[in-house]
Amino acid sequence: MVVITFPDGSKKEFDSEISCYDIAKSISDGLANAAVAAEVDGKIVDLSRKIFADSKLRILTERDKESLDVLRHSSAHVMAEAIMKLFPNAKFGIGPSIDNGFYYDIDDINVSDSDLVKVEEEIKNIIKEKQEFVREDISKKDALELFKNQPFKLELINELDDGTISIYKCGNFVDLCRGPHLRHSGKIKAIKLQKVTGAYWRGDAKNKMLTRIYGTAFFAKKDLDDYVTLMEEAEKRDHRKLGKRFDIFSLHEEGPGFPFFHPNGMVIWNELMDFWREEHRRARYVEVKTPIMLNRKLWETSGHWFNYKENMYTTQIDGEDFAIKPMNCPGGMILYKDSMHSYRELPMRVGEIGLVHRHELSGALAGLFRVRTFHQDDAHIFMTTDQIKDEILGVLNLADRFYKKFGLDYHLELSTRPEKSVGTDEQWEAATNGLKTALDATGKEYQINEGDGAFYGPKIDLHIKDAIGRTWQCGTIQLDMSLPERFDLTYEGSDGNKHRPVMIHRVIYGSIERFLGVLIEHYAAKFPLWLSPVQVIVLPVSEKHRDYAQKVYDELFDSGLRVELDESDDTISKKVRNAQLRYVNYILVVGDKEQANNSVNVRTRDNEIKGEISVKDFIADKVVEYKNRI
């Protein structure tokens, strides 16, 4: 007798072992047909998996978020089978599902984006055949024999312990895999291959470069169509293309992962910094600056030398090891420890726009989103345990003001104690409760990620949503119970004894380079007035209006607005068009009438005609818009 307990608490008895699919069918044919996979005692499994003992069961349909991963993982196998048919000598690496789809790494094939149509046609044939996904558990010896002509699979098998190894078959394609998978290939309703790129085997630049084919899959064609539309819009907003088109930043082979910021980029950068400093001053932060390079002893104390050295750039000075900082925190610890502190000084809110360097693999570099040098808007807050809630709430409110200024929505996630951690149970309970209490006080919903915190403390992550619905993890708030201990940080309490402060690491922008990349894509380079590199442009209708145009330009410039004067010989319509293509916020045309009235004729980059207005009134209005960051 096997007793199955369902999510609603109801139970059903079966005479003997039974598959998850048959249990679904015993409830209704509709559920069995809609089923994608099953969750048995918390583990996602194939519908074909048999249950031999009393268990908790949840049947997953396409409405469950876990099902999309099953669909995409299965789609990766189907794509691999199609490739195997077209390229019989292909050597397969790995083919996982990822956030937005799936990929497979393959060797010994010559494929370009134009060949993906052929692969998709073969995929359609496999889908029509409704080929079953069949799981088998075989010995390591048999696995080595089965995959003897697949060197990448052999490498993976040899790293496994002796014992059974799970494989999946779909048609003629066999793969090492834990699963789970769909019942058959016919369950794949909407699939699209996206692009071909290169990727080092196992992400290591020392290994062979393989061909990586990306694809995505959805349960409904409409969802796929919506996603394709989103990707097309994202392509138009690609910050690398817009960064080049609008002269914001560039990347060069002389410094892979080290971006160059142009004058336009520095305008945006400095506006972001001015806003950061104003808001942090209001929130009673002080700003510091710590060295970019510090000696080995510091990095040994912080733990980085032993745990993070492969990501650090190191050198020797006077025979002593030094490292360029990959993060600002240890320097902040030295500053705190430079003097004695009393409980009356706490909380101490100390910010730093720190330049850090981390060695990223060349294959992982991606415009401003993944670089080797970047600035973090770090802050370290030193406090007592009973100040945790208010300080966390203060950071959350500060982040809220920042993101609202850019029109960015966001959601919150709380990550709790992982399996390996430092600190006592009491410290973790106090820290986690402090974060929870602050989150509850915001009135906002948040997700809890059990066991996903840092080893040194729980954390809150802020995931922002841009104009086309994509999410980016930027802000984070982390409680740290490790560094104060490592650096022996103390303060004198009201009892006259030394106590260990609680410390928060937090960023709002995160990496400023990355945040700027997000903003470029969020606004599609159509920045609000306060961020625009060129806010206003003056266009004289003809040669005889140039002196007046120069006068208008001078008044705008003196008011603090960023203005240009188009002195080209182009027609006025072409000048307007050029200004609109450059996304200049306000375009001022001056001719006979405007010259006579000491006015300008205003239109926007979106060709909204504002009409004639006095120079004085235009300046007054735009200065307010600029200074208030509207």
**592/597 Cα distance (integer angstroms):** 9
Question: Choosing from 73, 459, 514, 545, which is the catalytic residue?
Answer: 459
Domain boundaries, the chain: 2-61, 66-235, 249-290+326-523, 291-324, 529-627
Give buried/exposed letters for 74-89 (b at 16+ CB in 10 A, else e). bbbbbbbbbbbbebee
Q: Identify whether the C-beta of residue 532 lies closer than 8 Å to the C-beta of residue 562.
A: yes
- The CATH code that applies to domain 529-627 is 3.40.50.800
Topology (CATH level 3) of domain 2-61: Ubiquitin-like (UB roll) (3.10.20)
Mean pLDDT lowest among 246-255, 272-281, 421-430: 421-430
Q: Which of 375, 354, 358 is nearest to 511 (CA)?
A: 375
DSSP string, 433-444: HHHHHHHHHHT-
Predicted pLDDT of residue 207: 92
Averaged pLDDT score across all residues of the chain: 95
pLDDT(563) > 80: yes
**77/333 Cα distance (integer angstroms):** 50
Question: Choosing from 46, 377, 378, 566, which is the catalytic residue?
Answer: 378
Predicted pLDDT of residue 111: 87
The tokens for 608 are: 């909204």
pLDDT(313) > 90: yes
358 is a catalytic site residue? yes
Q: Which of 442, 328, 464, 443 is nearest to 395 (CA)?
A: 442
Report, as an integer, the average pLDDT of 462-474. 91
pLDDT(265) > 90: yes
Predicted pLDDT of residue 607: 94
The tokens for 205 are: 């630049």
Q: What region does 426 belong to: left with phi over 0, alpha with psi -120 to 50, or beta?
A: alpha
Identify the burial level of 413 via C-beta atoms within 10 angstroms of its C-beta, where 0-12 means exposed, 13-18 middle and 19 or more buried: middle
* 516 against 364, higher pLDDT: 516
Q: Which of 60, 63, 102, 110 is nearest to 86 (CA)?
A: 110
Q: Identify whether the C-beta of residue 194 lies closer than 8 Å to the C-beta of residue 214.
A: yes
Q: Where do the H-state alpha helices sit in 147-259?
A: 151-158, 221-236, 239-245
* 173 against 430, higher pLDDT: 173
What do you get for the CA distance between the two ends of the chain, in Å? 69
> Of all residues in the chain, what percent carry a pLDDT higher than 70?
100
pLDDT(554) > 80: yes
Q: Which of 466, 328, 366 is nearest to 410 (CA)?
A: 466
pLDDT digits (tens, 9 = 90+) for 517-553: 999 999 999 999 999 999 999 999 999 999 999 999 9
pLDDT(131) > 90: yes
Question: Choosing from 170, 177, 329, 474, which is the catalytic residue?
Answer: 329
Question: Choosing from 380, 417, 575, 622, which is the catalytic residue?
Answer: 380
3-state SS, 1-42, equals CEEEECCCCCEEEECCCEEHHHHHHHHCHHHHHHEEEEEECC
459 is a catalytic site residue? yes
CATH superfamily, domain 66-235, is Threonyl-trna Synthetase; Chain A, domain 2 (3.30.980.10)
**471/77 Cα distance (integer angstroms):** 28
Report, as an integer, the average pLDDT of 342-363. 94
Predicted pLDDT of residue 114: 84
Compute the radius of gyration of the chain from its Cα atoms: 30
Report, as an integer, the average pLDDT of 463-487. 90
Mean pLDDT lowest among 47-61, 68-82, 301-315, 336-350: 301-315
Q: Identify whether the C-beta of residue 609 lies closer than 8 Å to the C-beta of residue 603.
A: yes
204 is a catalytic site residue? no
Instruction: pLDDT band for 112, please (50, 70, 90 cuts).
Output: confident
Report, as an integer, the average pLDDT of 48-75. 96
Give the single-character DSSP code of 307.
Answer: H
Question: Choosing from 187, 192, 505, 603, which is the catalytic residue?
Answer: 505
**615/548 Cα distance (integer angstroms):** 11
Sheet holding 286-287, edge to edge: 286-287, 348-357, 373-383, 502-511, 471-480, 459-465, 409-415, 446-449
pLDDT(362) > 90: no
**146/406 Cα distance (integer angstroms):** 55
pLDDT digits (tens, 9 = 90+) for 150-205: 999 999 999 998 889 999 999 999 999 999 999 999 999 999 999 999 999 998 87
Q: Which of 519, 627, 473, 629 is nearest to 246 (CA)?
A: 519
> Of all residues in the chain, what percent carry a pLDDT higher than 90?
88
**257/250 Cα distance (integer angstroms):** 10
- CA pseudo-torsion sign 422, 423, 428, 429: positive
Q: Identify whether the C-beta of residue 333 lies closer than 8 Å to the C-beta of residue 302.
A: yes
Half-sphere exposure of 562 (CA within 13 A, CB side): 19
CATH superfamily, domain 249-290+326-523, is Bira Bifunctional Protein; Domain 2 (3.30.930.10)
**501/24 Cα distance (integer angstroms):** 55
Question: Choosing from 153, 280, 304, 358, which is the catalytic residue?
Answer: 358
pLDDT(295) > 90: yes
The tokens for 537 are: 């442009």
pLDDT(422) > 80: no
380 is a catalytic site residue? yes
376 is a catalytic site residue? yes
Q: Identify whether the C-beta of residue 327 lies closer than 8 Å to the C-beta of residue 481.
A: no
Helices (H) and strands (E) in the chain, counts: 20, 35
pLDDT(424) > 90: no
Question: Choosing from 131, 150, 194, 376, which is the catalytic residue?
Answer: 376
Q: How far is CA 230 from the centre of its chain?
A: 17
3-state SS, 128-166, equals HCCCEEEEEEEEHHHHHHHCCCCHHHHHHHHCCCCCEEE
108-117, 249-258, 449-458, range with greatest mean pLDDT: 249-258
253-257, 441-445, 453-457, 557-561, range with greatest mean pLDDT: 557-561
